[in-house]
Amino acid sequence: MKILTISAEVAPFAKAGGLGDVAASLPKAFEQLGHENLVVLPKYGHIDIRKYSLQPTDIIVAVPMGTWTEYARLWKGILPDSLVTVCLLENADYFDREGIYGNPEGFTDNDRRFIFLTRAAFEAARTLGFRPDIIHAHDNHTALAMPMLKINYSHDAFFNKAAGILTIHNMAYQGLYDSQRTMQFMGLHKRHFFKGSWFEQYGAVNSLKAGIMFADKVTTVSPTYAHEIRWTNSGEGLQDVLHARAADLVGVLNGVDYTEWNPEIDTMIYKNYAQNSLAEKEHNKHRLLVDFGLSTEEILDGTPLIGMVSRLTPQKGIDLLEKSLEHFVKNKIARVVLLGSGENRYEDFFRYLSKKYPRRALVQIGYNNSLSHKITAASDFFLVPSRFEPCGLTQMYAMKYGTIPIVRATGGLADTVVEYDARTGYGTGFVFHQYSAQDLSNAMNRALSHYRVKPHWDIVRHNAMSQNYSSLIAAQNYINVYQWALEKVR
């Protein structure tokens, strides 16, 4: 199959969260399964073109934007450790800015930037002679690829045999745009937009809704989240839209690129280790603590280390930590290491904690890929107390590193972490259900109580490391969805 992936993030070039990881690991896995890929993303100003050997071409693509034409120069490269072709769209006006989305509020012309990206992806594919069987868009940023396929390109023989797939990574971001501008940039007659139309919500264009309505198949990133978004407020106001497409909606659990996230070969951690050499994991903990300035005495004091790497947004359950974490740190029950960035109030909470307990609350505000690997390898436990979590990747990474996840049973966290049962020796982590600080504290206490009981500690780590959430499994599941979609359009 020929698969065109369009995404606002593709790791390692441009990544704000898990979307970037998945938009890279899936095409790599498709390639291993024998499929052909073209991956399209913007050439953002911050992308390190030298590090990734990205090359400019002399191909300029004309991009219809309503009644006029705009242009993108194509840059080409490959996804590291693969032969997957990546095409980056250069347009300095749109993409040569600080960051990807312009957080926290978003750039005011994100509608125009992402419509340009999406439309340019079709035209780049045509120019490169890549006639796709599948057009796979990710999240609201590129969701308008679905109506484009079904309206703008419906009579275009190059594209109209392709099936359109939309993957929802997060219902909380929907891309609400001004209707006049959107119809204009998409080159669509205003008759396509009216109250109750597939584009419309509350008088605006809702990109995610339009994507859901026009896609041949809609997927989301875990089975539990697929259920939650229809039946709970995780649907963020689009429950009815999802009900309307229920027959074509499926949860496909994300997978992990184990060529990148594997303690046996990870080049970013201090020392490689495997299930049968967990003593080396301890070495990673020591080195991380040294890097955070702790003394030998402190390093050897036997305190368990709880790691966390996260965007700091309301989704991630930080308000539960505000109510519970200090107790553990203050009473020397645990040491915490956090890497994250996001909303000021959450950053301030962690700054407060680290200022008050500099030896036991180790905090790095910012984004740092290499440190995220080191923390995953060095920690004893990994905390993901999310309010909601479409899938979550960090708990899956943690398990592979023998770092025991403490998670809330929501979305993909519920699908991937099983509470450890001391009687049966079954389970991979510690799980709480109610969104409350008390339930989180109880789960942390259960987790910590097993830390010093060596037989249990060995078994739960062994169980966690034995899990297989490979992106090859996810990719095969997507291929099945693609085949199902093609039956519909051909």
Given the rule CB under 6 A, which residues bind ligand GLC?
A: 17-19, 22, 169-170, 221, 254, 389-393, 412
DSSP H or E stretch at residue 461? helix 454-465
CB of 291 to ligand ADP, least distance (A): 15
Contacts of ligand ADP in 301-330 (CB under 6 A): 309-311
Contacted entry of ligand GLC, ligand ADP, none for residue 140, CB cut-off 5 to 8 Å set by kind: none
**Phi, psi angles (nearest 5°) of residue 242:** -70, -35
With respect to ligand ADP, which residue has the nearer C-beta, 132 or 405?
Answer: 405
In angstroms, rounded to a whole number, what is the distance separating the alpha carbons of residues 338 and 341?
10
Binding site partner of 221, from ligand ADP, ligand GLC, none, Cβ cut-off 5-8 A by kind: ligand GLC
Give the helix ranges, DSSP H, for 384-427: 394-400, 411-416
User: Binding to ligand ADP by residue 25, rule CB under 6 A?
Assistant: no
Q: Which residues in 125-154 contact ligand ADP (CB under 6 A)? A: none
Q: Check residue 32 for interaction with ligand ADP (CB under 6 A).
A: no
| Binding test (CB under 6 A) with ligand ADP, winner from 121, 393, 409, 437 | 393
CA distances in angstroms from 32 to 25, 26, 37, 132, 473, listed in the order given: 11, 10, 11, 18, 11
Q: Determine, following the binding rule CB under 6 A, whether residue 21 of this chain makes contact with ligand ADP.
A: yes
Interacting span for ligand ADP (CB under 6 A) from 15-23, 102-110, 265-273, 477-485: 15-23
Q: Which does 145 bind (CB under 5 to 8 A by kind): ligand GLC, ligand ADP, none?
A: none
Tokens of 131: 């006639």
Q: Least distance from C-beta 19 to ligand ADP, angstroms?
A: 6
Binding window for ligand ADP (CB under 6 A); candidates: 17-25, 49-57, 74-82, 178-186: 17-25
In the set 7, 37, 341, 470, which binds ligand ADP (CB under 6 A)?
Answer: 341
368 in contact with ligand ADP (CB under 6 A)? yes
Q: Which stretch binds ligand ADP (CB under 6 A): 144-152, 283-291, 322-330, 391-399?
A: 391-399
For the chain, the 3-state helix, strand and coil shares in percent, each to the nearest 5, are 40, 20, 35
Confirm if 301 and 307 have CB atoms less than 8 A apart. no
**Does 427 interact with ligand ADP (rule: CB under 6 A)?**
no
The residue within the footprint of ligand ADP, chosen from 71, 158, 367, 451 (CB under 6 A), is 367
Residues ≥6 apart with Cβ < 8 Å to 18: 169, 254, 391, 392, 393
Question: What does the alpha-carbon distance between residue 478 and residue 470 come to, in Å, rounded to a whole number?
Answer: 13
The one of ligand GLC, ligand ADP, none whose footprint includes residue 234, by CB under 5 to 8 A per kind, is none
Angstrom distance (rounded) from CA 387 to CA 353: 21
Q: Which is nearer to ligand ADP, 392 or 427 (CB)?
A: 392
Q: Which stretch binds ligand ADP (CB under 6 A): 31-39, 222-230, 293-301, 367-375?
A: 367-375
Of the pair 18, 132, the CB lying nearest ligand ADP is at: 18
Query: Cα dist. 10→42, 65, 183 in Å?
Result: 9, 24, 27
- DSSP state, 368? -
Rounded CA gap, 342 and 311, in Å? 6
d(CA 34, CA 353): 50
- Give the contacts of 114 (CB within 8 A, at least 6 positions apart): 8, 141, 142, 144, 175, 207
Which of 193/258 has CB closer to ligand ADP?
A: 258
**Cα 393 to Cα 411: distance, rounded to the nearest angstrom:** 12
> Please, which residue, 158 or 367, has the CB nearer to ligand ADP?
367
Taking CB atoms, the residue at the shortest distance from ligand GLC is 18
Is residue 406 at the binding interface for ligand ADP, with CB under 6 A as the rule?
no
Contact status: 197 vs ligand ADP (CB under 6 A): no
Whether 377 contacts 263, CB under 8 Å: yes
Please, are residues 15 and 9 in contact by the beta-carbon 8 Å criterion? Answer: yes
Write down the least CB distance from residue 120 to ligand ADP, Å.
Answer: 25
Q: Is residue 100 a contact residue for ligand ADP (CB under 6 A)?
A: no
Is the CB of 29 or the CB of 334 nearer to ligand GLC?
29
Site stretch for ligand ADP (CB under 6 A), options 69-77, 178-186, 270-278, 336-344: 336-344
Residue type, 164: G
At its nearest, how many Å lie between ligand GLC and the CB of residue 391?
A: 4
Which of 211, 340, 405, 429 touches ligand ADP by CB under 6 A? 340
Burial profile 321-346: b = 16 or more Cβ within 10 angstroms, e = fewer = bbebbbebbeeeebbbbbbbbbbeeb
Is residue 394 within the footprint of ligand ADP (CB under 6 A)? yes
Provide the strand spans (E) within 146-222.
Answer: 163-168, 176-177, 200-201, 204-206, 217-220
- 3-class SS at 236? coil
Whichever of 369 and 438 has its CB closer to ligand ADP, that residue is 369
Tokens 């070969």 sit on residue: 265
Determine if 411 is a binding residue for ligand ADP (CB under 6 A): no
Which residues form the interface with ligand ADP (CB under 6 A)?
17-19, 21, 309-311, 339-341, 367-369, 372, 391-394
